[in-house]
Amino acid sequence: MKKIPGLFVFSFFLLVGCMKEPTTIEINTGTLEPVTIPATDPYINSKGFNKAYVYLPPEYNENTSYPVLYLLHGFGSNYTYWQAVEDIKDIMDYMISTGEIDPMIVVMPNGYNDFAGSFYTNSLDSLYPVFGQYETYIINDVIRYTDSVYNADTTKRAIAGISMGGYGAIKLGARYPELFKVAAGFSGVYDFDLFLTKDSTTQMSMVDMVIAENGGYISPTNLNKEHPLTSMMFAMAAAFSPRVRDSSYFDPLQNRFDFGAYYINPSLHMGVQLPFVIDSIDTIGNIVKGYWRLDSITWSQWKKQNVKDIFLANYQNIQNSGTKYYFDCGADDELKLNYHLMVLDNVLGQLGITHKAVLFSDYPGYPSHEFPAMHTTHLYLRIREGLKYISQSLE
């Protein structure tokens, strides 16, 4: 298989918008340990994508049971993100020591794959496993490992994440409400339909932006940090619409891209199909470079993984479980995910599901005209607010 260029971190996914405030409070320190969490999926194990960090709170006691937070990273990053970029150990130590949150275990699994992000989804074409079974990995393997190795309170689980991880946390929290008391998402993707909607300012949809990023046509050679939207779109296709077929099936003109021989059966090839086709002729016969049409079959596969649709399909189980949801987003999010927050806030309100939605604009001492609230800016502040909600929900 052609491997996508290694770990890259997009600047707009990793912006840090504020400094940490000094404190004279005595801080008790927890521990952060690297672990390997075996997967039932050979792809994850063979690629070495089964690494994780586990945070244990100060004075961790094996005779005491602790709530567990599963913390998911974003696209283009890996399990080290929360420590390397946000110093989650420092945040947890501080908030536990000050009594802002109760002691808890934090598990940071890997969601990275050959496309720089799995979207915490099972990549399947019919019964063919393709680019990693990451939903199963989190829900079965990671949780089972945590419960068996640590003194985890199985009645007090939470899941949270940033960007791709925000999508994954809210999606898994909606699909498996019986497993989690609370799910939280920071700058997550919650309604794929908005990818098709033109922005009022630019008059471009997300699909238009992907096509423009490629100069009018899609190329799999553009999966790099210079083409972040293209890279993300291919990663989503690898998660939601992978293909294992005869090599003749793949046709770049139909946005079906071949990524090499299938590792289980080399007589087949594996690749992805994007949910749209670029057409040189529009609906009224005009020749238009970059005109596209939706592929309804492929789009229906994407919609099965759409957070909004999962809530609509599973709301009765969610209501019965009593699971709570927290999600925030910067008001100036570069990917326009603030609109995703608004849609989900409205849907959960109509369904009567307990939640809190926060559209982050500014913060005392950080005026918005100097510190615009973007995709991951102010995250040190935002994660603390989310942790408070999580801790209260786990009581």
The residue length of the chain stands at: 395
pLDDT at 314 over 90: yes
Q: What is the pLDDT of residue 15?
A: 36
pLDDT at 328 over 90: yes
Residues contacting 76, CB < 8 A, separation 6+: 7, 8, 9, 10, 13, 14, 116, 117, 225, 228, 231
Helices (H), 99-142: 134-136
Torsion of CA 148, 153, 155, 160, to 10 degrees: -90
pLDDT at 366 over 60: yes
Strands (DSSP E) contained in 47-199 are 51-56, 66-72, 105-109, 122-125, 128-133, 152-162, 182-186
Lowest-confidence segment of 168-177, 198-207, 367-376 by average pLDDT: 367-376
pLDDT at 289 over 80: no
Residue with tokens 């925000």: 166
Q: Tens digits of per-residue pLDDT, 257-266?
A: 999 999 999 9
Task: Count other Cβ atoms within 10 Å, centred on residue 210.
Answer: 24
Q: What percent of the chain has pLDDT over 90?
A: 79
pLDDT at 203 over 70: yes
Q: Tens digits of per-residue pLDDT, 40-78?
A: 999 999 999 999 999 999 999 999 999 999 999 999 999
Q: Tens digits of per-residue pLDDT, 107-131?
A: 999 999 999 999 999 999 999 999 9
pLDDT at 19 over 60: no
Produce one character per residue of 230-257: b if its CB has 16 or more CB atoms within 10 Å, e if not.
bbbbbbbbbbbbbbbbeeeebeeeebbb
Give the pLDDT band (50/70/90) at residue 8: very low
Lowest-confidence segment of 10-24, 88-102, 260-274, 290-304 by average pLDDT: 10-24
Average pLDDT over residues 260-274: 97
- Greater model confidence, 377 or 254: 254
pLDDT at 288 over 80: no
Q: What is the pLDDT of residue 286?
A: 53
pLDDT at 269 over 70: yes
- Greater model confidence, 214 or 145: 145
pLDDT at 91 over 90: yes
Average pLDDT over residues 212-233: 92
- Greater model confidence, 12 or 220: 220
Cα 278 to the chain's mean position, in Å? Answer: 27
Q: What is the pLDDT of residue 283?
A: 53
- What integer best gives the mean pLDDT of the chain? 91
pLDDT at 278 over 80: yes
Average pLDDT over residues 290-310: 93
Distance CA 381, CA 248 (A): 51
Which domains does the chain possess? 11-191+306-394 (3.40.50.1820), 195-303 (no CATH)
Burial class (CB in 10 A: 0-12, 13-18, 19+), 37: buried
| Structure token digits, residue 354 | 């307990």
